[in-house]
Structure 1
Amino acid sequence: MTSTSSTSSTILTESRRAATVVAGRRLSFLDFGGPGRPLLALHGHFGEGRTCAGLARELGDSWRVIALDQRGHGLSDCPTDFSRTGYIEDAAAVLEHVGVDGAVVLGHSLGGVNAYQLAARHPDLVDALVVEDVGAEAEGDLSFSLSWPHRTPTRAELLERLGESAGYLVGAVREYPDG
């Protein structure tokens, strides 16, 4: 892990990529380490754990940010089941894997729903909850995303074809060696 010194604390600039296996599926997450209070960060639809890198840098060593690539996102395996129960059990498994109980759980959008459901179903794992950009019931229609291209020759072409949606997704778009 690389760090740089600041006048008052060590600000983490890189995370440790780790994984655990749940029901035969790989769950990838970033652990920004540090001696601070543990915070599990759950990203929104079309996001991934690395979108929390800026947050981890800002929080410095006051918090240990663990950012999960939720099922089917980032470097985690894509299951056939995208049920709420599946998402919740994945988050609980990651907390158990890293030996954390009593975490603060922060969730954005999809992650927000998963965060409060995790707190409700596993109160022993969650001490506090921060839910951002989602209501108590999420019934969003994401069918508009079905027309998005799955692969393009370059990242730039994908962002161009996504049009207005690209601003929201730019942080989660990966370029593979073959496009």
Structure 2
Amino acid sequence: MNIKTQKIVGQVIFLLLTFYLDGLMKWAFLNNMNTGDFMILPQIMLMAVVLITMRIDDRRQILAYGIIFGLFYDSYYYGIIGLYTVLLPLIMVGIDHFKFLFVKSNMGYELSIYFLALTFLQSGVYVLERLLQQTSTNIFDFITYVLGPTLLWNMVVFFILYIPFANFSDWLAKYRRESK
């Protein structure tokens, strides 16, 4: 197995672990916090997806990751196939399309991209659920009780996990040794 294949397998394992960490965090921590009006949705996999997308240049690989992990997320967490299967590849291709604007990716850029991706994803899920008549929540309640707490929680988690996730995704995206 060559180094590129090993790195791709490492990327998939990294995304699978963050996928599992989403569910673990919701089960372990947030079940006690989501008893009132507020609903916090952890999106650690989305953070890993944003970090990996900022470092990979192959759009086909990015699109494949988006479709596969969107399908996993839908089938495991939602039960409605199509929400993440459509939205996650759109986010990843959008990030890939505009990442050339950044001179060098750093924490500020990646935080703002993660914030926008998280807002787009949660709003897109809400809109699709409204279209499929899976929710009756109005837009103001969604912003107040779901989107706001979710953004706040995930920004705090981003600051905690950024350095290890960014270093690991940097390592996973480099295929060759750099010349000295």
Pairwise same-fold verdict (TM > 0.5): no
Q: In proportion to residue count, which structure has more helix?
A: 2
- TM-score, normalised on structure 2? 0.31
Q: Which has the higher contact order (CA 8 A, sep 6+)?
A: 2
- TM-score, normalised on structure 1? 0.31
Q: In proportion to residue count, which structure has more strand?
A: 1
